[in-house]
Amino acid sequence: MNLDPDQFESEARQRLETVQSRIARACEQAGRNPADITLLAVSKTKPIEMVNAYAKLGLKHFGENYVQEGVDKQMQRPDLCWHMIGPIQSNKTKLIAQHFDWVHSIDRLKIARRLNEQRPPEKGPLPVLIEVNTSGEASKAGVPPEQVEELAQAIAKMDSLQLRGLMTIPARSTTLEEQRSPFRMLRELLEQLNQRGLQLDTLSMGMSADLEAAILEGATIVRIGTDLFGPRDYGAQKQETPHKAG
């Protein structure tokens, strides 16, 4: 690991203050309370020392894309809240159900059913989000908007899952208005689902490049990686070997 822990602790404080300032300014513009926004630190590929630095500064929520890496970190820091935010393969659902506190990336009924069946009863229902493809790109993960309600209604009936809301990773945009459009779509979709009898309260949307647009459109969780942990290769660990999605 090419990382000086003491140096990173100093950097971490500055990075966190910068991100929190951006959130506060966006909330002021939106007429919202910054306390209503959960800052999810995306710690994928980053060593536990970086997680520890941010935990010392008060962060509690961390997001992982790779299941085994996330499980390893969770076992070292079970006091923190661990979110699965990456694509979910069928052969990894048991580990996710056993070890993670939130799941953001459900995109098909098969995965929801497996998580529901494999969630240990003593842990209580697993809070989950449906990932929505708001950009219409074939390369993007997520459920098409017109198929979200059917999946949402099915998940809402599962005893070991607690459907909390929606998540999206839109296509990159450069202007604020372009960035707001897919987030607005997600918010309106959540409102429609609630009008149909669901009780959803979570919008996981917005990353380092577009958190302001997401907050303006109602984000309750923003997922920040680069602006907290630096470039992708800074302090990066070897990733687990990907498997074909099931």
pLDDT at residue number 7: 80
* Domain membership flag for residue 162: yes
> How many CB atoms neighbour CB 156 within 10 A?
15
* Domain membership flag for residue 114: yes
Mean pLDDT over 28-40 rounds to: 98
pLDDT at residue number 235: 66
Residue 245 — very low, low, confident or very high, per pLDDT cuts 50/70/90? Answer: very low
Average pLDDT of the chain is 93
* CATH code assigned at 40: 3.20.20.10
% residues pLDDT > 90 (the chain): 85
**How far is 173 from 124, CA to CA, in rounded Å?**
39
| 242 has pLDDT over 60 | no
Burial 116-136 (b: 16+ CB within 10 A, else e): beebeeeeeebbbbbbbbbbe
pLDDT tens profile 121-146: 999 999 999 999 998 777 778 999 99
pLDDT at residue number 211: 97
pLDDT tens profile 53-85: 999 999 999 999 999 999 999 999 999 999 999
pLDDT tens profile 89-109: 999 999 999 999 999 999 999
The pairing of strands 38-42 and 221-224 is parallel
pLDDT at residue number 234: 67
pLDDT at residue number 216: 98
Per the CB < 8 A criterion, the answer to whether 131 and 111 are in contact is no
Burial 140-151 (b: 16+ CB within 10 A, else e): ebbbebeebbeb
Q: How many domains does the chain have?
A: 1
pLDDT at residue number 1: 47
| 2 has pLDDT over 80 | no
| 243 has pLDDT over 60 | no
**How far is 12 from 43, CA to CA, in rounded Å?**
13
pLDDT tens profile 204-239: 999 999 999 999 999 999 999 999 998 877 667 755
* Domain membership flag for residue 110: yes
* Domain membership flag for residue 237: no
Q: Which residues contact 130 (CB under 8 A, 6 or more apart)?
A: 106, 107, 143, 148, 151, 152, 155, 163, 165, 166, 167
Mean pLDDT over 140-161 rounds to: 96
% residues pLDDT > 70 (the chain): 93
* Domain membership flag for residue 241: no
- Its domain, for residue 142, covers 5-228
* Domain membership flag for residue 15: yes
* Domain membership flag for residue 239: no
* Domain membership flag for residue 73: yes
The DSSP line for the chain is ----HHHHHHHHHHHHHHHHHHHHHHHHHHT--GGG-EEEEE-TT--HHHHHHHHHTT--EEEESSHHHHHHHHHH-TTSEEEE-S---GGGHHHHHHH-SEEEEE-SHHHHHHHHHHS-GGG-PEEEEEEB--S--TTS-SB-GGGHHHHHHHHHT-TTEEEEEEE--PPP-SSHHHHHHHHHHHHHHHHHHHHTT----EEE---TTTHHHHHHTT-SEEEE-HHHH-STTTT--PPPPP----
